[in-house]
Amino acid sequence: MEEQKQIGDRLSAIIEHYGDSVYGAAKKLGHDRPTKLYNFIGHKFKPGFDTLVEVLQTYPEINPGWLLLGEGQMLLPKALAEPAPTAKKAPEPAPGHRYGGLNAPAVITLDMAGEEGIMLVPTPAQAGYQLSREKPAVLKEMDLELLALPQFSGKSHRAFEVEGSSMEPTLWTSDVVIARCMDDWRMVKPRHVYVVVTDDSLMVKRIPRPIRNEDQEVELLSDNSYFSPHIVPRETIWEIWEVRGVLTKRVPANREEAIERVAGLLEVMARDSTDVRGRLQEMMERISSRASEQLRLL
């Protein structure tokens, strides 16, 4: 086994040995969020006494001397003679059903201060983002940019670049949506905009209703009327993110000014129409007058 010189490396080795993700291990330790554990693994902070006790109580097969000092084997002698335990998975409500809590982001990113940052996922990186669910290292290797937006804090946020015209005129290609991870898909707000990550795509759509326990499929709606509703099997959905803000280069025109311009054009058209009718009437009168004169001559 590769030598783990720092305690963060040893914590990472424990998580790998038990087949956990960082998110899953944090839940087992009783943490609501994985940020603290990521800080330890990333060597930003060292775990305190209480955290070390939590680790040893959660994983009793771990050798305390190895965890604290890096001395000896990772597992106690008795545990070495037994098969490695399999990771405990949180129960799913029914086959083929998923909740956001069970499928939270596989990787979160921390800024220089150790706070969770907002990862920007541009269009070219979206295929890699989907792959990161099975291979979290892929996302780390992509070295995606972090955005600092204080108004979007306190919970996992991501920034996704919009591609295509399906959400026009609400969202346009190259717009960037700031979205918050949905822990419970039953809390989806009807007809709000969400980023939906599936096995083979990443879409920005509206979800017409909350996702219930018994739902086998999820309907996704576009704002552009040229696009039909999209139906996806629930079991293919990995993540759902609630859109809470938009970064765009399109500044909407002044609505009142636009209305005034339209009213002005209508007024000009009305004047022109009256003028045209007057000219036509004058021409008809002249033609009628000439016809009368010709009849008199006959």
Task: Tell me the C-alpha distance between 53 and 47, whole Å.
Answer: 10
What would the pLDDT profile of 36-52 be if each residue is shown by its tens digit? 787 788 777 888 888 88
- Host domain of residue 297: 254-298
Is residue 297 situated within a structural domain? yes
Domain count, the chain: 3
Q: What is the pLDDT of residue 112?
A: 54
Residue with the bigger pLDDT between 255 and 95: it is 255
Is residue 27 situated within a structural domain? yes
Query: What pTM was computed for the model?
Result: 0.53
Do 189 and 109 lie in a common domain? Answer: yes
In this prediction, residue 218 has a pLDDT band, given cuts at 50, 70 and 90, of very high
Do 153 and 173 lie in a common domain? Answer: yes
Residue 226 near residue 158, CB atoms below 8 Å: no
Q: What is the mean pLDDT of residues 15-22?
A: 84
In this prediction, residue 92 has a pLDDT band, given cuts at 50, 70 and 90, of very low
Is residue 85 situated within a structural domain? no
Is residue 146 situated within a structural domain? yes
Last residue of a domain, one of 223, 247, 271: 247
Do 177 and 109 lie in a common domain? Answer: yes
Do 104 and 210 lie in a common domain? Answer: yes
Residue 128 near residue 141, CB atoms below 8 Å: no
Do 236 and 120 lie in a common domain? Answer: yes
